[in-house]
Structure 1
Amino acid sequence: MTERTAEPTGPAERAASIAAYWDAAAPSFDEEPDHGLRAGRTRAAWARLLRSWIPSAPLDVLDIGCGTGSLSLLLAEAGHRATGVDLAPRMIEEARAKFTTAGLTARLLVGDAMAPPTGDQRFDAVLCRHLLWTLPDPEAALRAWVARLRPGGRLVLVEGRWRQSARAAAPYADGAASLPWHGGIGAEELSRTVRPLTAGLRVDSLGEHPDLWGGEVDDERYVLVAHV
Structure 2
Amino acid sequence: MTDSAAARAYWDAAADAFDQAPDHGLRQAATRGAWAARLASWIPRAPADVLDVGCGTGSLTLLLAEAGHRVTGVDLAPRMVGHARAKLAAAGLAGRFLVGDAAQPPTRAAAFDVVLSRHLVWTLADPAAALRAWVARLRPGGTLVLVEGRWRQAGEAAPYVPGAERLPWHGGVTARELTDAVRPLVSEVRVEQLGHRPLLWGGPVTDERYALIARA
2:55 alignment counterpart: 66
1:160 alignment counterpart: 149
Question: How far apart, in 2, do the equivalents of 1:26 and 1:144 lie?
Answer: 26
Q: CA RMSD in A?
A: 1.0
| 3-state SS of 1:126 partner | strand
Between structure 1 and structure 2, the one with the greater Rg is 1
Q: Do residues 143 (structure 1) and 132 (structure 2) align?
A: yes
2:208 alignment counterpart: 220
Counting matched residue pairs gives 216
1:84 alignment counterpart: 73
Question: How far apart, in 1, do the equivalents of 2:183 and 2:48 lie?
Answer: 24
| 3-state SS of 1:221 partner | strand
- Greater shift, 36-45 or 96-105, is seen at 96-105
TM-score computed with the length of structure 1 as normaliser:
0.93
Q: Identify which of 93, 104, 116 aligns with 2:93.
A: 104
| 3-state SS of 2:141 partner | strand
| 3-state SS of 2:32 partner | helix
Identity of aligned residues (%): 67
Question: How far apart, in 2, do the equivalents of 1:114 and 1:165 lie?
Answer: 25
2:194 alignment counterpart: 206
Partner amino acid for 1:27?
A: D
2:119 alignment counterpart: 130
Question: How far apart, in 1, do the equivalents of 2:199 and 2:144 lie?
Answer: 23
Question: How far apart, in 2, do the equivalents of 1:86 and 1:163 lie?
Answer: 23
Shift of 1:163: 1.4
Kindly report structure 1 stretches of 4+ aligned residues shifted beyond 6 Å. none
Shift of 1:136: 0.4
Query: Residues 87-134 of structure 1, C-alpha deviation per residue, up to 9 Å, x if partnerless?
Result: 000000111111111111100110101211111000000000000000
- Greater shift, 186-195 or 159-168, is seen at 159-168
Question: How far apart, in 2, do the equivalents of 1:125 and 1:64 lie?
Answer: 11
Shift of 1:165: 6.0
| 3-state SS of 1:225 partner | strand
TM-score computed with the length of structure 2 as normaliser:
0.98
Partner amino acid for 1:137?
A: D
Q: Do residues 171 (structure 1) and 159 (structure 2) align?
A: yes
Question: How far apart, in 2, do the equivalents of 1:22 and 1:132 lie?
Answer: 15
Question: How far apart, in 2, do the equivalents of 1:41 and 1:137 lie?
Answer: 35
The unaligned stretches of length 5 or more in structure 1 are: 1-9
Q: Identify which of 20, 45, 53 aligns with 2:42.
A: 53
Partner amino acid for 1:172?
A: Y
Question: How far apart, in 1, do the equivalents of 2:38 and 2:204 lie?
Answer: 18
1:39 alignment counterpart: 28
Partner amino acid for 2:101?
A: D
Question: How far apart, in 1, do the equivalents of 2:10 and 2:162 lie?
Answer: 9
Shift of 1:158: 0.2
2:172 alignment counterpart: 184
